[in-house]
Amino acid sequence: MSINGGSGCFGRGLAVALFLLYGATGFGAPPAQPAHGDAAAQASGMDHDHDAMDMDHDHEAMEMGEADHEHAHGAHAHGVPAAPVVWSLVLASLAIAGGLIWSARAALRRNAPAGPTAGTNILDLPVIGMALRSRRFLAFLIVPTMAVFLLIVLAGLRGEQDTGNPAILLTWILWWPAVIFTFFLVGRVWCSFCPFGYLGDVAQKIFSLRLRVPGILKNMWWRLGLFLALTWLTTLWALDRWPLGTAWLGLGLTLGAIALAVVFEKRTFCRYVCPVGGVFGLYSMTAPLRLAVKDPSVCRGACSGKDCFEKCAWFQFPPAMERGAECSLCLDCVRACPKDNIALRTQASGADLASFQSHSKSLDEASAVAAVLGVALLQTAVMLTGWRGWEAKLGNWLHLAPGPTLYTIVYIGVGAILPLLLLGLFSYTSQAQEEAGSGLGRALRTYAYCFLPLGLALHAAHNFHHLFGEGAAIWPGLKKALAQYTGWTSLAPPQVAAASVAPNLLFALQCATLMAGLYLTYRVAVARVRRNGPRPERAFRAVLPILLFAGAYTVMNVFMLAAPMAHRH
Ligand code: SF4
Ligand code: SF4
């Protein structure tokens, strides 16, 4: 079947899918009715009645899984955008997807632009450069982070088990959404002052066997497996609404970092095991800045000590770095280099994604990209108030009651297997246009990176819902908790609802994020197709499957984010 013929079928399929989604998400219905709680507050997007919502959190049942699974899907929903706004943005997203396809055709007819020019070296900027070069800068970041981490653990272990607990507010409404943006904006810089890694460093200074890292750890599979397990448990146990579970999650990751630090050299946990930094580290390939040596010939000739490698806790050798995904931007190598030969340069967003070519034959990173797309989709879907109905229908079909078993089947299918099959199909179709195209594995290793911005965009847009929809509750919640812990009742906030961002504005912001992801996918796909060199008349046919998938995934997500969604708080 030709690609052109396929695109006609695809268009009709997309139209049917959109129609079904329209019905499923209830856009044609009256404005969303809250799943639980106060209807008036819901309509204004301001329902923060913790007692009504969360005090029924039954932890004994949670440990058994069933009741908690119910609870995970039972939190209240907030306002939804108005139908005209939704339809305007759906049409806009369709227009942008079509426009990008048209633009790709034009771009691939032109000669490839000249290679990227070296960006600005941030370390040369006055004041900022000086601050970044100073080791004290990291300490400046680590001290407050450690204080917040301690507060999360103590509040989670000892505080009231409701969603007003600082462990929930700070971990799941502030940190989790915010950390995703840091990977996109400044790469893996969070990892340089993450409390888990820092406590591992402290333990390693006290005692460590400093064994070499075994080869079996040096791949993405461990990180991917832990990431899937973590996200699976987060939904199944409602970790994002369970302060005690959140505290133990933080303690567990810290213990893991410490255990590996006392056995192995350097930051083995951060580099090869951490489920958060590992998979999200791929997000940092979209970052607009990266470490790079100024003059490679200096490294080859005039430098005998290679101090940059000695000092790097992440096993990186800056002259050989091909991307920033495994670099925490701690800048220890910059401080160690005797030739001042390392720069922190700006670059185009997604430059690493466009240029990186894996030397490994493993499908670990392609599988991680697929999992990001699947898990972001599923974790958004389970927070929709319509999820219970879909789950019940699927359960009827499979003869399974809604609960952990059914969710696990859905999780493995939708979160891991289906996206990998789809990415394989669309990557293979793209690669088929190359002269030397061969093998599904090579296709996935070449083109899977194109799809990463889509997963990142949905992940970020979903978390906009929590950060901007619930973020206003953080400060009053912290003051309330402080009043309880200290007995200073004057700190307790008055009983007024915290304002949230208006649903229309929030939705527009989410759609803009999805469009940005689509645009980045377009740029990465065009660059990769160009580099793999199908003949000009075939280049457009190579990029088309990727852009069709990207457009469909994005429009589907626009629909999904317009539906009523539960809050964590
Ligand atoms: S220490 Fe500096 S000059 Fe030497 S290899 Fe590393 S980056 Fe190059
Ligand atoms: S390469 Fe440099 S900045 Fe990156 S992790 Fe290693 S020491 Fe830190």
Q: What is the pLDDT of residue 77?
A: 53
Q: Which helix (H) or strand (E) holds 291?
A: strand 289-293
Structure tokens at 250: 């933080």
Protein residue whose Cα sits closest to atom 2 of ligand 2: 333
**DSSP assignment of 498-545:** PP---HHHHHHHHHHHHHHHHHHHHHHHHHHHHHH---HHHHHHHHHH
- Ligand 1 pocket mutation, candidates 291, 294, 307, 316, criterion most atoms within 8 A of CB: 307
**In ligand 1, which atom is closest to the CA atom of 318?**
7
For residue 121, list its beta bridge partners. Answer: 345
On whether the CB atoms of residues 542 and 431 are closer than 8 A, the answer is: yes
For residue 535, list its beta bridge partners. Answer: none
Q: Which residue has the tokens 């990176």?
A: 449
Mean pLDDT (10-residue bins), the chain, 569 residues: 37 43 38 35 36 38 41 54 92 95 90 76 94 90 95 93 92 91 92 96 97 94 94 91 96 97 97 89 94 94 91 96 94 96 95 89 93 94 87 90 91 93 93 77 93 96 88 84 79 61 90 96 94 80 94 95 75
Q: Which residue has the tokens 């009827």?
A: 396
User: How far apart are alpha carbons 206 and 188 in whole angstroms?
Assistant: 26
330 lines ligand 2 (CB under 6 A): yes
544: nearest Cα among 112, 111, 100, 96: 100
Structure tokens at 425: 């199909």
Q: Which helix (H) or strand (E) holds 346?
A: strand 342-346
On whether the CB atoms of residues 321 and 292 are closer than 8 A, the answer is: yes
User: How far apart are alpha carbons 79 and 89 in whole angstroms?
Assistant: 17
Under DSSP, is residue 289 helix (H, G, I), strand (E, B) or coil? Answer: strand
Kindly tell me the sign of the dihedral angle through the C-alpha atoms of 125, 126, 129, 133: positive
Interval between CA 521 and ligand 2 midpoint (Å): 27
Q: What is the pLDDT of residue 228?
A: 94
On whether the CB atoms of residues 149 and 195 are closer than 8 A, the answer is: yes
Question: 178 to each of 25, 203, 379, 461, how far by Cα in Å?
Answer: 28, 28, 17, 11
For residue 289, list its beta bridge partners. Answer: 346
Q: What is the pLDDT of residue 538?
A: 84
The binding-site residues of ligand 1, defined as CB within 6 angstroms of any ligand atom, are 293, 298-299, 303, 306-308, 318-319, 337, 339, 341-342
Nearest ligand to the C-alpha of residue 297?
Answer: 1
Q: What is the pLDDT of residue 152?
A: 95
Q: What is the pLDDT of residue 436?
A: 67
322: nearest Cα among 273, 290, 297, 356: 356
Q: What is the pLDDT of residue 112?
A: 73
Question: 24 to each of 28, 43, 357, 507, how far by Cα in Å?
Answer: 10, 21, 40, 18
Q: What is the pLDDT of residue 65?
A: 41
Q: Which helix (H) or strand (E) holds 474?
A: helix 474-486
Interval between CA 362 and ligand 2 midpoint (Å): 25
**In ligand 2, which atom is closest to the CA atom of 329?**
3
**In ligand 1, which atom is closest to the CA atom of 317?**
6
Ramachandran angles phi, psi of 312, nearest 5°: -75, 115
- The dihedral over CA atoms of 195, 200, 205, 207, expressed in degrees to the nearest 10, equals 150
Q: What is the pLDDT of residue 493?
A: 63
**In ligand 2, which atom is closest to the CA atom of 317?**
1
In whole numbers, what is the pLDDT of the chain averaged over residues?
A: 84
3-state SS, one letter per residue, for 238-260: CHHHCHHHHHHHHHHHHHHHHHH
Ramachandran angles phi, psi of 566, nearest 5°: -75, 155
- Ligand 1 pocket mutation, candidates 121, 298, 314, 332, criterion most atoms within 8 A of CB: 298
For residue 211, list its beta bridge partners. Answer: 264
User: How far apart are alpha carbons 331 and 337 in whole angstroms?
Assistant: 10
Q: Which helix (H) or strand (E) holds 342?
A: strand 342-346
Residue 129, phi-psi category: left (phi > 0), alpha (psi -120 to 50), beta (remainder): alpha
